[in-house]
């Protein structure tokens, strides 16, 4: 059974691998035997992630890349091919939100700034899926083999309050995932998505916790709606990403959205 999840000899690219969730997935792919290219804009955090991978006995390297720049992504792709000679797995974990695209209680949706909306869409859809799928997907298509994993969100399935732009952008990521899965199914490329639930990270920690570490009102509501009564931790995405990356484990799966949310999405009351 362990052979199903053996990625030895394969090369995985994790865009957004400098972040908490992307970094945990990069470590998981390395632990399964893949050589992992950690892509991001923060060299210090990227090198730290590579160091963690190497200290655990894995193989990794950091490549500077801006998810919103085709030229930057192309340069990173070419550098990866020059280093390792192949490209098998792509994880698109870049994304995020911005405060002025979030509606606090009682806010007027009609006053939501268009610039903020556009930037959230650029970050999560254009840079978080579209451009990397085009640029790295081109290499996979030429080879006739590859697994692409887009990181969507629970909020892309059910529009959560306040994060309207982020929810809409992640819904678009799910739609693009299904489109590419259909288009590339006969070309050897599988395209799937992972929709994490609530995983505390830098960008949402203040929303979920008070300064003393207790749950905020919002955090408490989420915990009360989650059957497992807790938030997720990044390492709990490890098995999910390795499963979807492995052709032996999930070779007949494409266009799927795998939800990792502690049961939040199946709770109605």
Phi-psi region of 127 (alpha: psi -120 to 50; beta: other; left: phi over 0): alpha
Whether the Cβ atoms of residue 7 and residue 28 lie closer than 8 Å to each other: no
Residue 209: strand pairing partners: 215
Dihedral sign computed on CA atoms, order 253, 95, 63, 242:
negative
The pLDDT value recorded for residue 169 is 97
Q: What is the pLDDT of residues 97-131, one digit of tens each?
A: 988 998 988 899 999 999 999 999 999 999 999 99
Q: Are strands 35-40 and 146-151 parallel, antiparallel or unpaired?
A: unpaired
In this prediction the pTM is 0.95
In contact, 121 and 167? CB cutoff 8 Å: no
- pLDDT value of position 217: 86
Q: Under a CB-based contact definition with an 8 Å cutoff, are residues 240 and 234 in contact?
A: no
Count of CB atoms situated within 10 Å of the CB of 132: 27
CA separation, residue 94 to residues 20, 106, 121, 140 (Å): 11, 30, 12, 20
The pLDDT assigned to 66 comes to 97
Q: Which residues of the chain have pLDDT under 50?
A: none
Radius of gyration of the CA atoms of the chain, in A: 18
Active-site annotation, residues: 166
Helices (H), the chain: 20-31, 43-55, 70-84, 114-121, 131-143, 164-184, 205-208, 217-225, 238-245, 247-250
Backbone phi and psi for residue 13, each to the nearest 5 degrees, phi listed first: -110, 125
Q: What residue ranges do the domains of the chain occupy?
A: 2-266
SS3 percent helix, strand, coil of the chain, rounded to 5, is 50, 15, 35
Q: Look up the CATH architecture of domain 2-266.
A: 3-Layer(aba) Sandwich (3.40)
């Amino acid at each position: 059974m362990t052979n199903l999840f053996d990625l030895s000899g394969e090369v995985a690219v994790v865009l957004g691998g400098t972040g908490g969730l992307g970094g945990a997935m990069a470590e998981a792919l390395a632990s399964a035997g893949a050589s992992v290219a950690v892509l991001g804009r923060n060299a210090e955090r990227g090198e730290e992630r590579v160091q963690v991978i190497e200290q655990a006995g894995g193989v990794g390297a950091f490549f500077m890349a801006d998810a919103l720049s085709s030229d930057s992504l192309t340069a990173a792709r070419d550098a990866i091919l020059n280093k390792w000679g192949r490209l098998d797995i792509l994880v698109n974990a870049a994304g995020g939100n911005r405060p002025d695209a979030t509606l606090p209680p009682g806010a007027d949706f009609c006053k939501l700034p268009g610039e903020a909306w556009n930037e959230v869409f650029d970050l999560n859809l254009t840079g978080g899926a579209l451009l990397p799928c085009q640029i790295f997907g081109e290499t996979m298509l030429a080879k006739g083999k590859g697994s692409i994993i887009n990181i969507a969100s629970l909020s892309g399935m059910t529009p959560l309050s306040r994060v309207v732009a982020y929810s809409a952008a992640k819904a678009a990521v799910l739609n693009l995932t299904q489109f590419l899965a259909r288009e590339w199914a006969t070309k050897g490329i599988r395209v799937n998505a992972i929709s994490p639930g609530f995983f505390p990270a830098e960008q949402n920690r203040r929303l979920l916790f008070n300064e003393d570490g207790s749950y905020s009102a919002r955090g408490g509501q989420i915990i009360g709606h989650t059957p497992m009564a807790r938030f997720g931790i990044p390492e709990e995405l490890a098995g999910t990403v390795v499963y979807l990356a492995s052709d032996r484990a999930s070779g007949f799966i494409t266009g799927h959205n795998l939800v990792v949310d502690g049961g939040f999405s199946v709770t109605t009351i």
